[in-house]
Amino acid sequence: MKDDEVRKVADNVRDYFRETAESIRIFRWVWRELTNKESKRWSRRLLVLSLLGTVVAMAQPWFTKSLLDGAVQKNRGTIIYGLIGFGICLLFAKVLDLLASVCRERTWGENFVNLDRRLSGLFFSQSLGQHLRESGSLNCAGLSKGRDHIFNVQGVLLFNNGLVDMLQMFVSLAALWLISPVVGGIALGMLVHYVAWLMFLNRAFAEKFAPVEVNYRRYTRALHELWDKVERVKTCGRAETETRRLADFGRATADEDRRHSLWFDRLATVRSLITDAAFAAIMAYGAWSVLQGEWTVGLLYPVFSWTAQFRGDLWRIGQIERQLNKALPAVKALRDVLSERPDVTDRQGAASLPTLSVPRVEFVGVSHTYPPAAWDEDDPETLAKAGQPVLGDISFAIAPGEKVALIGPSGVGKTTLMRLFQRYADPDKGVILVDGRDLRDWRLDSWIGALGYIAQQPQVMDGTIRSNLVFGLSAEERARVTDENLWTVMRRLKIDFGSRLTQGLETKVGRNGIKLSGGEAQRLMIGAAAVRKPRVMVIDEATSSLDSTTEKEVQAGLAEVLSDGVSALVIAHRLSTVRDLCDRFLVLANPDDGNGARVEATASSFEELYRLSPTFRRLADDQGLRIGSDKPPDGSPDEPKGEPAKVIPLSLIRR
């Protein structure tokens, strides 16, 4: 749920039942998808034990009735019968309690491990394309929120006796009904009255409390932002003013909250008065029945305790409903996003890519359109753009061992092409051939195994240099890789971090370790890619966030990794980065005809490219790149935008 969103609640009976049906579907999804056999077994046992426990707890007042009736009638037999029954109930209750705790703990333990495993399974089974598309909800925050709420619901049901309360409520109602339909009827009236209140209060909650909740969320977000952006706040000298402003907002919100809460408390008092009146009516009816000689005096006791039980359960179930209402939206969001089917899977009969040779890769007429994200539907502008292809009819090949650079302006679709290459998603049209066979006919894991990817932002994991270097290796590969192998990679990539490697390969990096600069982190990532001995390197703007000195170091690392006869597809923001690294250059350009980007030119030198591609000329000139003495041919469709002050433009001389 977004910060400013007010939670909707049902305001009529039909909506209420519709929502209840949806809640049941959510519960069933959790039960089906996230609960394993073992935990299902334990929770079923828990249910049976709880039911038995409820029956035993309710039998106890029944035996008390015998005790009282025996005392009134001065009948020893009845008294002893009552006492024995009472004692057995106590004993049984304790044994059942103990057994139930075992089941509860088992259910909890099983769920704890299994839930995360299942969640991760569903999360990772979705393609990276799906992750990009659903990046607003299919992410760590969404997952952990949904997970926490599932645990909350489970805690309410298992440990706060939610399950027992619900069972008890129905069993007490049934028992009261059996004693007398009048008493049962009044109790049922209590239930209906309570549900009506619940619906009314839910609606009142929406009107009064939800905006307060929104304000609380805004307040918290603003506070966190102030704390997070301490540097900006302090350097602007805004600390005191902003804190005061926020405190005023907080006070206003709290005042509003208090007003509504007091209103709510008054209503709640009315509600319990009505429930209490029903309680009194039941007892009055009981007393009258005793006077009529229809009931024994003793019967008043079980009726009293079951009604009290019923009233208490009603109240607690109201609380549970409130807690479930709070938890379910996050669980629902989780279900919606995790029940999407994975869209990149192995085709039937997919083969494993040979593990040793460097494959030949070919794009044949590949085009791709991003499917509109859910939120696009609200925005006509993005929706219109969302339907247009990003890439249209792209064809080129990478021979084994060839290094190809992708060049093109920002937003043209270079990253998209790389995503298709790594099967984040499959192209809508055309095909990517690997060793002459559709990429979709190779097993995904074997393709991923052939690739070494270096992303724009280094993703250093919390751990040691070693654990980061071997992260991409299988267990067998990890066992096989020696320290000497790792050190060779470290030396080649000059990963020494200014002699901060005090513990060698075991030096901690990441959150709890030494702080790595962008360039150092990126070199570590290149090292990690090299350790995997990839056959095709995929490098997307790996140096774009670095300064030019650091870029040179990283570039040297890249050159090392690429020197092993691997193939490569490289994107670099700075053209100078790829100039010496790559054998062939491919320029992507989007003619803005709504058909997506195409390959504008391909060449094996910058000089040639400068002649052939207006897009490249523009990029090279913008970056002040010196490209031999080449000038664009006469009548070229697009003159380069004058190189900075090298030649004085004719137009100026004439003036």
Ligand X SMILES: Nc1ncnc2c1ncn2[C@@H]1O[C@H](COP(=O)(O)OP(=O)(O)O)[C@@H](O)[C@H]1O
Of 74-82, 192-200, 394-402, 404-412, which segment contacts ligand X by CB under 6 A?
404-412
Give the Cα separation of 394 and 403 in Å (integer). 18
Q: How far is the CB of 125 from ligand X (least distance, A)?
A: 19
363 touches ligand X (CB under 6 A): no
Q: Tell me whether residue 376 or residue 560 sits nearer to ligand X (CB atom).
A: 376
Say if residue 515 is exposed, middle or buried (CB neighbours under 10 Å; 0-12, 13-18, 19+): exposed
Q: What does 412 bind: ligand X, Mg ion, none (CB cut-off 5 to 8 Å by kind)?
A: ligand X
Q: How far is the CB of 412 from Mg ion (least distance, A)?
A: 9
Q: How far is the CB of 559 from ligand X (least distance, A)?
A: 22
Out of 185, 387, 411, 642, name the contact with ligand X by CB under 6 A: 411
Which residue, judged by CB position, is nearest to Mg ion in the bound state? 415
Closest C-alpha among 565, 649, 576, 557 to residue 619 = 576
Q: What does 599 bind: Mg ion, ligand X, none (CB cut-off 5 to 8 Å by kind)?
A: none
323 touches Mg ion (CB under 5 A): no
Q: How far is the CB of 406 from ligand X (least distance, A)?
A: 8
Judged by CB under 6 A, the chain residues 547 through 586 that form the site for ligand X are: none
410 touches ligand X (CB under 6 A): yes
Q: Tell me whether residue 415 or residue 464 sits nearer to Mg ion (CB atom).
A: 415
CA dihedral 318, 322, 323, 329 (to 10 degrees): 140
Q: How far is the CB of 417 from ligand X (least distance, A)?
A: 7
Q: How far is the CB of 415 from Mg ion (least distance, A)?
A: 3
Out of 162, 408, 534, 614, name the contact with ligand X by CB under 6 A: 408
The H or E element that residue 393 is part of is: strand 389-398
Closest C-alpha among 588, 579, 633 to residue 611 = 633
Of 184-192, 403-411, 431-439, 521-529, which segment contacts ligand X by CB under 6 A?
403-411
User: What b/e string do you get for 245-271 counting C-beta neighbours within 10 Å, with b at 16 or more?
Assistant: ebeeebeebeebbeebeeeeeeeeeeb
* CB distance 628 to 605 below 8 Å: no
Helix/strand/coil for 21:
helix
Radius of gyration of the CA atoms of the chain, in A: 35
132 touches ligand X (CB under 6 A): yes
590 touches Mg ion (CB under 5 A): no
Q: Tell me whether residue 390 or residue 405 sits nearer to ligand X (CB atom).
A: 390
Q: Tell me whether residue 271 or residue 414 sits nearer to ligand X (CB atom).
A: 414
The H or E element that residue 60 is part of is: helix 37-73
DSSP 135-148: TTTSSHHHHHHHHH
Say if residue 485 is exposed, middle or buried (CB neighbours under 10 Å; 0-12, 13-18, 19+): middle
422 touches Mg ion (CB under 5 A): no
126 touches ligand X (CB under 6 A): no
Out of 415, 464, 468, 543, name the contact with ligand X by CB under 6 A: 415
Q: What does 53 bind: Mg ion, ligand X, none (CB cut-off 5 to 8 Å by kind)?
A: none
Q: How far is the CB of 446 from Mg ion (least distance, A)?
A: 26
Helix-helix angle 140-158:76-125, to 10 degrees:
170
As given in the structure block, the two tokens for residue 346 are: 């192995």
Judged by CB under 5 A, the chain residues 278 through 307 that form the site for Mg ion are: none
> Residue 432: beta bridge partners?
363
64 touches ligand X (CB under 6 A): no
390 touches ligand X (CB under 6 A): yes
Q: What is the sign of the dihedral through the CA atoms of 335, 341, 345 and 349?
A: positive
415 touches Mg ion (CB under 5 A): yes
> Residue 405: beta bridge partners?
570, 585
Q: Tell me whether residue 410 or residue 512 sits nearer to ligand X (CB atom).
A: 410
How many residues does the structure list for the chain?
A: 655
396 touches ligand X (CB under 6 A): no
Out of 370, 442, 497, 610, name the contact with ligand X by CB under 6 A: 370
* CB distance 641 to 622 below 8 Å: yes
Residues in touch with ligand X (CB under 6 A): 132, 370, 390, 408, 410-416
Residues that bind Mg ion (CB under 5 A): 415
